[in-house]
Structure 1
Amino acid sequence: MTTHDPIPARLVALKTATTPELKKQWRDLFDSEPPAFNRRYLESRLAYRIQELAYGGLKPSTIERLEALGEQLDGGNLMVRRNRADDRPIVGTRLIREWQGVEHTVTVLADGFEWQGRPYKSLSSVARAITGTRWNGWIFFGLKNHRSRT
């Protein structure tokens, strides 16, 4: 006797579901309102949750290891972790941008950015120093698409 696993079909169905249907599934599976993220995010998190509920989630030892690694990065401060994940690249990341034939490298610091040995509070101020005009620093360095929010 062969048993049919409905999970692959549910995962495939996410691709053709409407956004309101995805949001309904989110409410059903997470018992909370869906976040205001793009469709691709909703699909991937729903796909993970469907599989997690059907097959089980991460082992407790894996969760502990991930939490320990997170604490090594941010000292256990959830706000630092959330800000880093949501708003900025990880400290030490080098952002490289060519402008008018010159390559510019910016290093991400804990409290800002560094370019040519000088600290800056924002990427926009670095972009302004490089170009002499006002720029959104996230767009200038290719971290944000100027046509969308991501």
Structure 2
Amino acid sequence: MLRMQDRPPDCGSLGQVDLRFSFRGPFNKLVGPVGEESRFEGISYDNVTDTFFVLRESMEHEEHGLVPLTEELRLTDCGNKVEVLGRCVVPFALQDVNKGFESLVVFWRDGKRRMLGLCEGEHARGWLGGMRRSVQWGLP
């Protein structure tokens, strides 16, 4: 993955709900800045590093145009704040802001952290050589 050169908007809000999934429960809250639409399409927890990975379906990149973006986040201040640890663009040129990556899973195999995402219906094309269509391995 390539590092994001331009700073994207703040990470956006994450929804935190109690384990009973109570509608409007007293412990339900948004963590992080509330405002602009985040375009989050996936979230995965890495229990080895105690971090979350979120996937933005598409972001405008100065050099490569419309691309998906992954961010590594950590909850701080007893779960009341979000710290952005890193951002990486996924090396795919997208055709539409609403047709990018859907879903995300982060897991460990052979001692390495892996990331798997699904590309939604547009035959995303990598600008790096040797990339296969639709399902890609990413290394954050």
What TM-score, normalized to structure 1?
0.22
Structure with greater helix share of residues: 1
Which structure would you say has the larger Rg? 1
Greater percentage in strand: 2
Q: TM-score, normalised by structure 2?
A: 0.23
